[in-house]
A and B are shown apart, each in its own frame.
Chain A
Amino acid sequence: MSEDVQHGSSAAGRAKVLWVVVVAGLGYGVINTVTQVVDLFSG
């Protein structure tokens, strides 16, 4: 049980880091694409 809790808390820690990584990755992809679209259509 305590091992469960320990594994659970390390997984929760990893999940928080993963949230940051995936949101940052998606943000990078979306901003990059939007910038490209705006540049190309305005150019």
Chain B
Amino acid sequence: MGDGLPRGVAAAVAGAPPGYNRWWIPPAALAVHLSIGEVYAFSVFKNPLVEHFDTKLTPIGIIFSIAIVMLGLSAAVGGRWVERNGPRKAMFVAAVCWSGGFVVAALGVAADQLWLVYLGYGVLGGIGLGLGYISPVSTLIKWFPDRPGLATGLAIMGFGGGALIASPLSSKLLDVFADQPQDAIVGAFLVLGALYLVTMMAGAFTIRVPPEGWRPEGFDPAAVERRTLVTTGNVNAKNAIRTPQFWLLWTVLFCNVTAGIGILEQASPMVQDFFPDVSAAAAAGYVGLLSLCNMSGRFVWSSTSDVIGRKPTYMIYLGVGAVLYLLVASSGTASIVLFVLLTGIILSFYGGGFATVPAYLRDLFGTLEVGAIHGRLLIAWSCAGVAGPLIVNAIADARKGAGAEGADLYTLSLYIMVGVLAVGFIANLLIRPVDRRFHEDVEPQRDRRAAAEPAMAGARGERG
């Protein structure tokens, strides 16, 4: 026992026995990310909650905002705890918080206390989101040193895919438990909480950390380290935030997410404003299509980054992304097919940006505390989650006030997003390898190398 957790959890930094297949790790990570990805389907509960509490959309929208802010904060604050205690304990706590959040929120709905829903789904659930999001990342990178982009892309794709499962499932549960959706929320929350508890626990008890010094058969670390940005050293989380590279990458992520989330959040009204013939139902289909692009981009682009490198991949996200935004702004109304194609690719870049960033951090800062550094970087997500929709909504409101309509409501926002992406592009260009003075144990390593030198020379038969 330890930390008040069950024995199987507390005992574990959960090392893998010899010969353990590394392909048993991704489903454990996916189980967690598919579960917490439900948060993107929260909109299904919005109208039933508005009806149940007899309130407006804004107080209900706050639930999601609290959850996303808590995601960023808990990932930033809890990152080092996750690194110290290992993925199993982190996933266990994430599962308890996430499913516990549903239970507390269900209590809030049953008792007509909205603040309990804020506390449950928002605060408690948000902590589960943050810890669950970062918990498998560094373990995956250690198991897949040859293909970190593929491994993290696979897991983080789950976060995008979670909503695709949760959305129809939640709708069905709301139909099953009562005649009116607003009367079925408690039952739906309890079933989802139980389902996610079982799924995430299965992930927690399956994940294993590789043995010290483990590497896949035929893998030559030197081949990877020859790439310009890939470090041979390790930087701890405390030092990482003192490097310009961390803040440049923070800017890159912030710009990429701000641009993507601006479209994602406004997708349904935007397509209807660009093309007045599009019905609300067809707009919902368009939103589903964007979710698919977001999800598949996470896997496809992150895996591609293993081949072409992280920096060139972000040059595509930000550079090509800016050109695509320009095309949407200038000729998006020309054809709905063109509009859907352009925004679909933009959303695939948005997802790709999330999935590629852990591997980029590994390249720059090493594997020592990559999970903790990733957690701190995710604050950029919380900030972009506020900035992106704020830019698009505020400008659309102002333009509407000035008498503009249709696509004109968004033109200025789209040009601003081109500028935002250009800033990110420049930040990415400025990223250089981290100075060696930030590396851990530089001196001891050098000392050990110096001490080993005569012995190695002896082994090679050299004489001074």
**A binding-site residues for B, Cβ under 8 Å:** 1, 4-5, 7-8, 11-12, 14-19, 21-22, 25-26, 28-30, 32-34, 36-37, 39-41, 43
Closest CB-CB distance, B460 to chain A, in whole Å? 36
Number of residue pairs spanning A and B whose beta carbons lie under 8 angstroms apart: 92
The answer to whether A33 and B292 touch across the interface, beta carbons within 8 angstroms, is yes
Tell me the residues in window 265-308 of chain B with beta carbons closer than 8 Å to chain A beta carbons.
Answer: 281-282, 284-286, 288-289, 291-292
Contact count band on B: 35 or more
B206 within 8 Å of A by Cβ?
Answer: yes
Q: Which 5 A-B pairs have the closest CB atoms?
A: A29-B164, A40-B285, A15-B24, A8-B17, A18-B27
The answer to whether B285 and A30 touch across the interface, beta carbons within 8 angstroms, is no
The answer to whether B158 and A22 touch across the interface, beta carbons within 8 angstroms, is yes
> How far apart are the CA atoms of A6 and B282 in the complex, in Å?
52
Closest CB-CB distance, B380 to chain A, in whole Å? 27
Interface of A (DSSP majority class)? helix
The answer to whether B24 and A26 touch across the interface, beta carbons within 8 angstroms, is no
The answer to whether A21 and B199 touch across the interface, beta carbons within 8 angstroms, is yes
The answer to whether B281 and A40 touch across the interface, beta carbons within 8 angstroms, is yes
B181 within 8 Å of A by Cβ?
Answer: no
Which residues of A are found within 8 Å of B31, using beta-carbon distances? 18, 21-22
Contact A12 to B288, CB < 8 A, known contacts A18-B31, A21-B199, A40-B282: no
> How far apart are the CA atoms of A15 and B136 in the complex, in Å?
14
Contact A29 to B24, CB < 8 A, known contacts A18-B203, A22-B30: no
Contact of A11 among B18, B24, B34 (CB under 8 A): B24
Residue on B nearest A16 in the bound complex, by CB:
B24
B415 within 8 Å of A by Cβ?
Answer: no
Which residues of B are found within 8 Å of A33, using beta-carbon distances? 164, 288-289, 291-292
B202 within 8 Å of A by Cβ?
Answer: yes
